[in-house]
Amino acid sequence: MTFNMNSRSARTSQPVMDVIARRWSPKAFRPEVPGKGELISMFEAARWAPSCFNNQPWRFLVTTRNDPEAFSGALACLTEKNASWAANAPLLAFQVMRETFEYNEKPNPWSGFDCGLAMAQLILQAESMGWSVHVMAGFSRDRVRETFGVPEGFKPLVAFVIGREGDPDTLPPHFREEETATRERKELFRAGTRGIHLEEG
């Protein structure tokens, strides 16, 4: 038995929180830009993520279509493939990671973990308000550094877009296929692994 809420929802083997099941990474977006209050809610959700020594190593660089110069500067940082669909998103941003602890300036091996947690909170908050987030590794770190003047000790970690899910038919054919394909995950318990033994029920 699977639990399914819309065509792109995760077909989970057990019920999970709505926002987790509904979240996915679209490439087609409607042009509507998130309002200021909605954006603040998303970044507020990220702000309250747990982090090692409460170091909060995440920073965000955010551009929207409302500022075409900043938006095209951000777009120029993406790989050609990502730029080809992200160009139609209303908001393009980067998460930047502080590499050291603030209290002693020593390297923080957990910064990446903390940034991931903050991004997960942002994504789920966005999803709960009807906004989709698509994270990307395909961009030039150096170009982000140059374009936005990212200082030493900070590392551009991921790019991401935020928008309302759009019509897959607006995408080029190769993307359209991906956009509508069945979403897959590894099995929860795989043969040969020592899983947790649960009673049926």
Cα torsion 11, 195, 186, 27 to 10°: value is: 60
Compare residues 137 and 196 and give the one whose CB is closer to ligand FMN: 137
Residue type, 42: M
92 in contact with ligand FMN (CB under 6 A): no
Residue type, 63: T
87 in contact with ligand FMN (CB under 6 A): no
Positions in 145-164 near ligand FMN (CB under 6 A): 158
Cβ at position 178, least distance to ligand FMN in Å:
8
Q: Which of 64, 82, 108, 147 binds ligand FMN (CB under 6 A)?
A: 82
Compare residues 77 and 150 and give the one whose CB is closer to ligand FMN: 77
Whether the Cβ atoms of residue 142 and residue 94 lie closer than 8 Å to each other: no
Contacts for 57 with CB less than 8 Å, ≥ 6 apart: 51, 97, 98, 99, 108, 111, 114, 115
Q: Which residues pair with 155 in a beta bridge?
A: 97
168 in contact with ligand FMN (CB under 6 A): no
135 in contact with ligand FMN (CB under 6 A): yes
Cβ at position 174, least distance to ligand FMN in Å:
12
Question: Rounded to whole angstroms, how far apart are CA atoms 114 and 116?
Answer: 5
Compare residues 101 and 112 and give the one whose CB is closer to ligand FMN: 112
Give Dmax over CA atoms of the chain in angstroms: 58
- Tokens 């990671």: give the residue: 97
Question: Rounded to whole angstroms, how far apart are CA atoms 39 and 131?
Answer: 10
72 in contact with ligand FMN (CB under 6 A): no
136 in contact with ligand FMN (CB under 6 A): yes
112 in contact with ligand FMN (CB under 6 A): no
Binding mask 171-190 for ligand FMN (x = CB under 6 A): ------------x-------
Q: Which residues bind ligand FMN (CB under 6 A)?
A: 24-25, 82, 135-138, 158, 183
